[in-house]
């Protein structure tokens, strides 16, 4: 068994799946994105959560607009997230687990450049 540390930084990744849950503690609704990032020749799973409640959902709204997953009435098609690649900024939390701090949609020309390298 090899123990390899992924360095904090920005990596390419894809949303593998997602789930939507309401917090029992706060009553707020969240989308939890399970993201696979590519580090060297390894794939590592990280998670990023976004609040979906009004007044707290601007970050996910921006992402959904970029992936054409938001219609003019505000209805979101989260399955669109599965069709795109993302730049994922990761760091270690206080428990030593790698977490996604921020994700940005990769444009098609960025994706092609990344494949060539």
Task: Dump pLDDT digits (tens) for 57-103.
Answer: 999 999 999 999 999 998 999 999 999 999 999 999 999 999 999 99
Task: State which H helix or E strand residue 115 sits in.
Answer: helix 108-116
Whether residue 86 contacts residue 105, with contact meaning beta carbons closer than 8 Å, is answered with yes
For residue 53, name the pLDDT band (cuts at 50, 70, 90): very high
For residue 14, name the pLDDT band (cuts at 50, 70, 90): very high
- Which pTM value belongs to this model? 0.86
Whether residue 89 contacts residue 102, with contact meaning beta carbons closer than 8 Å, is answered with yes
pLDDT recorded at residue 40: 84
């Amino acid at each position: 068994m090899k123990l390899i540390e992924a360095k904090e930084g920005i990596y390419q990744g894809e949303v593998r799946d997602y789930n939507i849950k309401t917090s029992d503690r706060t009553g707020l609704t969240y989308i939890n994105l399970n993201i696979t990032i590519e580090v060297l020749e390894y794939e590592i799973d990280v998670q990023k959560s976004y609040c979906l409640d009004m007044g707290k959902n601007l970050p996910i709204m921006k992402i959904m607009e970029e992936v054409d997953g938001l219609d003019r009435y505000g209805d979101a098609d989260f399955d669109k997230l599965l069709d795109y690649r993302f730049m994922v900024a990761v760091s270690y939390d206080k428990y030593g687990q790698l977490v996604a701090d921020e994700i940005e949609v990769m444009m098609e020309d960025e994706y092609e450049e990344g494949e060539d390298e």
